[in-house]
Structure formats: C-alpha cells, structure tokens
Structure 1
C-alpha cells in the first residue's frame, strides 16, 4: 500500500512541478516578447502561448493544492458538525470527486473533439487547440484521482490525507 501512496504523492508533486514550469514558461514568454519589442521584432502568438501556459499552470496545480490543503474548504461548517464532521467531509469529498470526474470527462471529450475536427486557435499563432487543451485534461484527471484518493482514505482510515499546514484543525 505504501508504494501506491508514494506513486499518488509523486503524481500530485509532478502536477505541481509541471504547473511551476508553466509559470516559468509565462515568464520566459513575457521576457522574449519584451526583447522582441525593444528590437523592433514581433513575436507572433506570444500572448496566446502565455494564456495556454496560464491555463496549464492552473489546472496542473489543482491536485497539488488540494493535497496540501490550499483549496478553500468549509472548515467553519465542518467544525460545527461535531461528531458528524466525518460524514460532512465524506459528503464534501464525494461531491468533489463526482464533479472532478465529470469535469475530466468533458475536458477529455472537448480535447478529443478539437483533435478530431482539427480545431485551430483563433489567434495569430494558429496552434491546434488540442495541444494546449491536453494540459487541462491532465490537470483535471489528476484532480479527479486526488479527490477519489482522499475520499477513499477518509472512508477507510477516518483521515483524508491532506496535509494540515494551511487547514484549520480546530474541532
């Protein structure tokens, strides 16, 4: 079981690292675009690529943030539930798992449709849309896995497995 736990934690960390690389990509794109303007050149599609990186950074970071307790939670309400807190957390993680699985499903369908119909971005870059959409798919899949992981942990062990660094642990 510890090898599965290590693999899942590694998956969430990989998502966080990829998200940070997307943020670095935004920085590089902005600097390159600034240099291009100073030299009188035009970097076609730079704002579009920066937008793709921003979307990738957001979606890839979701599971890492959830795993580290950085998402907004209803701790005030859960704390007031007293001995029923566990049921409230199961409900919250259950709803989160259902919604994230649905989101991943529709993201995959959208990306497949973009690939199938050869959808091209409307910007100057003319990038096939399935390429930046893959980052969103990967991020939503990792988020769905994370919600299901924490739900299963909560049901079987009584603890959700999120780090308590930024959570309100008052009960």
Structure 2
C-alpha cells in the first residue's frame, strides 16, 4: 500500500468522496491502479490519523504538468494531463475536483478566498511551490466502498 498525506482543510472533501484525486511530485513509488491507497492527515506526527477506512483503490496514475506564473492573478497558467493541455474551463473543473472549489474551501483554509477554484488552487501553489513548471503525477482513486453489513446469526 502507498500512503498520501493531506492538509486538514481537504479532510471533509476526502471523507465525503468529493475529492478523489491529488497531485503529487515525483517520488520513489506511487500507487498502482487497483492498489489500495491510505489517505492520512498529519503523517510523521503524533496526530497522524487515517481520513477514510476502508482504504480506497487507486483507479489511475497520469503524468501532470502545472505551469504557474506570478504575473497572473490566478497564478495557474496551464495544466497538462497525460500530454493533453486543458482548456480554461477544464482547468476550473480540475481545480474544483482537486478540492479548491470556493463553496467547499473558502473560510476553511487560510489564504483561500478566491472567486474560482483556479484562484484558490493558485493561492495554494504560490504558498507551497516555486513559480514555473511542476512535473508530477495525478493520483486518482475510486470512492471507498461501504463497509459490509454483518448479519446476526440465528441460533
């Protein structure tokens, strides 16, 4: 299994199944399709805990390139997934699916009060990544299946 760590403000979106993807930098090993992914808050701290249980399954891994520019108010200049550059409307959909929709994050995350998901994603990227090109992967997972219901045995 492969574990991924998230900021606290993403927890409600992950727990409810709205956020089912994350963008990650290159690392030694990412999840493979069909493999369980563990989604955590506070990894490597004493406050570490799982967000969902049972673990969802990785549905796919795609290469992603995000281009940022401090010259733009929205910061996110372009996004390319699996070699395909997204259109402006698709960037907004992507940013929303990645957990930056204003109705889900404004007021919950510090410094995120944009009118669009793209603006919120840009604020996050400006705070956590240097400007320019980011090359990594998009990790997607299927919704966590409901826990099986145990039936009492009749005796």
TM-score, normalised to structure 2, is 0.23
Max Rg structure = 1
Greater share of residues in strand: 2
Greater share of residues in helix: 1
